Structure 1
Amino acid sequence: MPVTYTAHYPGAVARDLSEKLSDFVTPMDFGAVGDGVADDTVAVQAALDSGRHVMLVSNRDGQSGFVKHLITAPLNVTTDGQRIFGSTGAGYMGKASINFPTLGANQAVINVKSSGVVLDSLIVKGRDSDGFPAGSSIIFANEDAAVGPDTANNGDVDLTISQCSLGEAETLVRVTGRTIRLTNCNLVRARDVLQIDWPADFEDGPNDDNTALSGMRGYTVRDNRIHGCTGGYIVTNIGTNKANMRGLMVIGNFIDTNIRLFRGVAKDALFSDNVVIHSTVAAHLVHLEAGSDSVRIASNIFYGMEPNRLEATPEHPIVTREIHSGVLIAAARNVSVDGNHFKRVNNAVVDIGPGSANILVRNNVMKDVCLANIATPAADRAPVRVNGQSADVDGLVVDGNIVDQSNPTGGSLIGIVNPGSTTIKNLSVGANVVPTDMYISDFSSTAVTNAPEMLDTAQKVIPYEGDGNATQAFTLKFTPSYVTVTQVSGAAQGQSVSVGTASAAASGLVEITGRVVTVKGAWNTSSTAYTLFAIA
């Protein structure tokens, strides 16, 4: 007579016990000990090879502490759609875990060779001493043609990692193929979090969009805590097909020290609502390499650490940490840096490289930026910096930003470095708020063409009262190319004079010298009102 099982809940029905027990397996079913001392490699691999879902229990009856599966060789997952999960949610490293303390160079703790695998509520650790072995990873996902249904590598990874704690490897997750969801995880102790590559043996799949040009897509890193890392990137893409990566989303992560958001080529990508604190590593938080297109960087908070205590002691000095620099746009197109907060940044907030086009820098708050460049030329003290050299920048909007410096440093909002023969085409500068000693830009060594809008901070209306002196000077935040002065009271009311930079230097009425406009004689008569209009 078959033995049955009935769950102790309303509405439950009897099931064959053997069927019930085959819903999932555990490593204990194959002889695992789970004490962190005995080698459980064979048992855990046997559980994975069963083709059933695999559960890691957090503790066993009569055993103190949490279950720790010690392994001494990489594990392999070869069943499509297999779920490997813990019986408790993600937490500290003391809970049920898989530990590979002898992880070596170019090894992974878990190799995922099949598609649609789910890793849920697991704790997986690599090597925790002597540094990270070169090329090591916690999870390495790459479709194995020998495992897949069509004996070809179509890049079908489709991996989900959720509520896991991963740590102690050079790279936590390496994906060679398409689609990963890395969400709600605790990600610690690594150089890079996610490295994306494309299979060398890739073959076009059955769908029109499963090709080398369009198939490398669908990567989500969301709502994770990332900390204790060593200077790499949350996401980086590599390999011969990196220029075709699309559909990357890095959203809502809390990123604590010494790691940056992204480096590589990104297309159709979104970086938003992340909080990144006191990253002291070199280079930019976001580095969009040449070929990037259609990228939005929005609503993030990037901040360096302010003084960490009120008073210093011999044992505990006052410490501050700064972000090295913000966003580097290197020959990229259609990029917006919108609505972010940057605080305590040593260098530029946005660096725009030659060959870039259609760049929007809007509605950002920049507090205490360019801290390392106080003694350098004004162009290097610019929160928005255009690197010239040999290629034009075509399409730049700088609008609605606020720059707030605790210690005014001068400089300009937009700086031009390495100008060469660069032309900035289609420039629009809007209503930005900057310190009193900061101007917009003089563009003295760079041609600017087709600038239809230069609002507020690139044009200025100054009502003034004549003082009867020989001259009266007004210092603007930009270098004007054209000035008109109109008398608005007195016998000559309505009369005006206009000068441009080509004629103003010798004018006996109005002169333009750099950012300084000087009015003279009849345009500075005592007790007479005038209006000065200047445009860049």
Structure 2
Amino acid sequence: MSTLSRRHVIGAAGIAALGATMAGQLSPAQSAAAAEATADAVMGTTPQEFGAVGDGVADDTDAIQKAIDAQLTRPNKIVFFPPGTYRITRTLVVPDVEGLGGDNFNRIVLAGASTMSSRVSIIDVDFDGTGLEMRAPLAALRGLCFVAPASLKNTVAVQSARDANRVGANTDDVDLVVTECTFIEFYLALRHVGRGLVFTNNLVAVGDFGIDISWPTAGVSGTGVHLLPYGMRKWLIEGNHFHSMGTAIRTTGENAASFRGAIIANNVLDIGRRLFEGGIINSTFSGNVVENGSGGPLINVTAGGTNLTFTGNVLGGGEPTGGGRPPYSIAFDTAVQARNVTITGNTFNWLTRSPVYFAAAASEVTVSANSFDNWNLDQDDRWGAVRINGDATDVSILGNIFGANPVAAAPPVRVIGTITRSTITGNTFENTAGVLWAGAVGADNVIERRRAGAMEQELTAAANGALIVRATTTGAHQVGADAYGAFVAASDQSGGAGPGVKGGMRIVPVNEVGSTAVDLLCSTDDENGVAAMRVGITGITPTADNARDLGSAENRMRTVFAHGVQFAAGPRPQPVAGAMAMVSDGAGGSVLAVSDGTTWRRIVLGNPV
């Protein structure tokens, strides 16, 4: 064993302090032995102890494998790679011997001194194959930099998968941690087969795929929640930098639709085709940034598609001076029936087609408080900022800012099928044709749009549709109180017409049980007052001056003080001044009679005209 390399490894302050404490209680020989034991327990083994050179020229494969194998019986299984370049020419293997009796490699740690931005402890995979196979569960990689020759098509930096050929393999239970590592020029940086992955603060650059996650095809021995569909869970992919990548994260295999429980957060994809592709449910994408994306959708959901949240992401292509232009930011494939999806607080920019795209029907979808800028760069009226290629049911599109569509007449929301039980309100947009184009507008929708010209709000509903305002006032109704709602035009201006209500309508109770009347409101000509004509179950009650004109300006009829006029048929009522009634003419016919308040007087009919 190399004393020099051991001293180099145990030079950390914490170990030195521990050794000093022990030295005060033991003899010099005992202190030396204790320090050596402390290094073994805490800092682990180095490849140099087994002959590694780390100069980037010598083949260090055997030395590293021996260092790994030496961890089988150690209490703390750590292989530490001091700064250097460790060239390997075949696959390194951490075996899976759990359940075979004796010790195992579970919880082994391979660690170096690198960070996601510095290449210090380098493993040079100098062949077209897999650099490291992590078959033991609960393992960790920290501070290592993996590099490979450029343009090889079979290079995989790390494969994390248990041995399916072993009896009682339990291949679903993996739980790998990868942090502060760097992967350069690999076709695939990490292939992970099984449940559980923490992949944080890593740099993956210049490759085809970053992370590939799948479910084992054999050797699954768990029960209950360890089996599909719940087995494929537990993923934290956060704070990574993906640079010049084809696809940063993907799920593959026939069970990809069960990929669940993922937090994909705060990652940066700087130049690449897509951040995610595959099946996924019950997961969240938050705080990710894709800058200068190109090719296919930046987030492409190909299976699953339920119970997903996308929030606080910035997803787009390159600006006019150059760069890629993806067609979609978030896309759901034709095989996906998207349901219970929330897309909120995101920024979408520089896209050739639709930022949010559902290739089939969608239901229970909320799209709110997003910003859409420079979309539909293809200038095709088929693309909306939000496009649903099927029926849209229980969809809410609220409070978004839709930048200008290059096709001025095309609405920002496009539904190819029927929209039903949906709400589209409070959005800002610039086109001239409203907020929605739909194949058909079904029942129970509230669709608000800003019309061209005046700042008006319009509600669109299907034939025979109605807007219902539900009163929530409790207790007894007060006659005349505004308990049911008002729809009025009002001014807040101090000049011109002045402040106050200019017209409108309100619905008020007229008795204690809540029966209502409708007040039609209009401001008076000579002052800023409001007159009301009431329409209720008892008829029409004019305004205070009791006068109303009917007809045109040239041909009109004015009714003045007409409230006391009564028309009656049948038995003659009690005489009331001004009342009129049809009465018998004494010869079997009927004539009109008028009352002076005390008696009734017949009006003799003239000759036929």
| Runs (5+) with no aligned partner, structure 1 | 59-66, 308-317, 464-473, 496-520, 524-536
Aligned residues of 1:279 and 1:324 also touching (Cα < 8 A): no
Return the alpha-carbon distance in structure 2 between the equivalents of residues 290 and 50 of structure 1.
43
Q: 1:465-519 deviations in whole A, cap 9, x for unaligned?
A: xxxxxxxxx997979968999995689x989xxxxxxxxxxxxxxxxxxxxxxxx
| Runs (5+) with no aligned partner, structure 2 | 23-30, 72-76, 96-104, 468-503, 505-519, 526-530, 534-550, 554-609
Does residue 385 of structure 2 align to residue 383 of structure 1? yes
Aligned match of 1:12 in 6, 17, 21?
A: 21
Return the alpha-carbon distance in structure 1 between the equivalents of residues 108 and 56 of structure 2.
25
SS for the counterpart of 2:282 is strand
Alignment of 1:28-47 (within 5 A): 28-47=48-67
Match of 2:328 in 1: 325
Opposite residue 323 of structure 1, the aligned amino acid is P
Does residue 298 of structure 2 align to residue 285 of structure 1? yes
Q: 1:223-256 deviations in whole A, cap 9, x for unaligned?
A: 0111021x32x22111122121111111001110
Change (3 A) 1:9 1:452: same
Return the alpha-carbon distance in structure 2 between the equivalents of residues 320 and 238 of structure 1.
28
Match of 1:112 in 2: 134
Aligned match of 2:449 in 451, 457, 460?
A: 457
Match of 1:92 in 2: 118
SS for the counterpart of 2:449 is coil
Q: How much does 1:221 deviate?
A: 0.9
Query: Percent same amino acid at aligned positions?
Result: 23
Does residue 253 of structure 2 align to residue 239 of structure 1? yes
Does residue 281 of structure 2 align to residue 275 of structure 1? no
Aligned residues of 2:441 and 2:462 also touching (Cα < 8 A): no
Change (3 A) 1:133 1:334: same
Aligned residues of 1:153 and 1:201 also touching (Cα < 8 A): no
Aligned residues of 2:450 and 2:458 also touching (Cα < 8 A): no
Larger Cα Rg: Structure 1 or Structure 2? 2
Aligned residues of 1:290 and 1:332 also touching (Cα < 8 A): no
Q: How much does 1:460 deviate?
A: 11
Q: How much does 1:438 deviate?
A: 5.2
Aligned residues of 2:45 and 2:79 also touching (Cα < 8 A): yes
Change (3 A) 1:241 1:442: closer
Opposite residue 230 of structure 2, the aligned amino acid is S
Return the alpha-carbon distance in structure 1 between the equivalents of residues 433 and 117 of structure 2.
48
Q: How much does 1:183 deviate?
A: 0.2
Aligned match of 2:126 in 101, 109, 112?
A: 101
Relative contact order higher in (CA < 8 Å, ≥ 6 apart): 1
Q: How much does 1:295 deviate?
A: 0.5
Match of 1:413 in 2: 412
The two structures have a TM-score, normalised by structure 2, of 0.66
SS for the counterpart of 2:170 is coil
Aligned residues of 2:442 and 2:462 also touching (Cα < 8 A): no
Match of 1:156 in 2: 173
Match of 1:218 in 2: 234
Alignment of 1:44-63 (within 5 A): 44-51=64-71, 52-58=77-83
Match of 2:362 in 1: 356
Aligned match of 1:336 in 339, 342, 348?
A: 342
Q: 1:431-451 deviations in whole A, cap 9, x for unaligned?
A: 1000153521242xx223233
Opposite residue 292 of structure 2, the aligned amino acid is H
Change (3 A) 1:27 1:451: same
Match of 1:121 in 2: 143
Aligned residues of 2:168 and 2:221 also touching (Cα < 8 A): no
Opposite residue 133 of structure 2, the aligned amino acid is N
SS for the counterpart of 1:434 is coil
Match of 1:426 in 2: 421
Return the alpha-carbon distance in structure 1 between the equivalents of residues 210 and 86 of structure 2.
23
Opposite residue 54 of structure 2, the aligned amino acid is G
RMSD: 3.3
SS for the counterpart of 2:374 is strand
Return the alpha-carbon distance in structure 1 between the equivalents of residues 117 and 347 of structure 2.
30
SS for the counterpart of 1:243 is helix
SS for the counterpart of 2:422 is strand
Does residue 268 of structure 2 align to residue 254 of structure 1? yes
Q: 1:145-182 deviations in whole A, cap 9, x for unaligned?
A: 567xx732341110000000012222211111000100
Q: 1:260-317 deviations in whole A, cap 9, x for unaligned?
A: 1222221111100011101122x2111222432100011101233324xxxxxxxxxx
Match of 1:401 in 2: 400
Aligned residues of 2:115 and 2:143 also touching (Cα < 8 A): yes
Match of 2:432 in 1: 437
Does residue 362 of structure 2 align to residue 369 of structure 1? no
Q: 1:105-132 deviations in whole A, cap 9, x for unaligned?
A: xx3111110101010000011232xx24
Match of 1:81 in 2: 107
Change (3 A) 1:385 1:98: same
Return the alpha-carbon distance in structure 1 between the equivalents of residues 532 and 350 of structure 2.
49
Match of 2:156 in 1: 137
Aligned residues of 1:426 and 1:449 also touching (Cα < 8 A): yes
Aligned residues of 1:430 and 1:458 also touching (Cα < 8 A): no
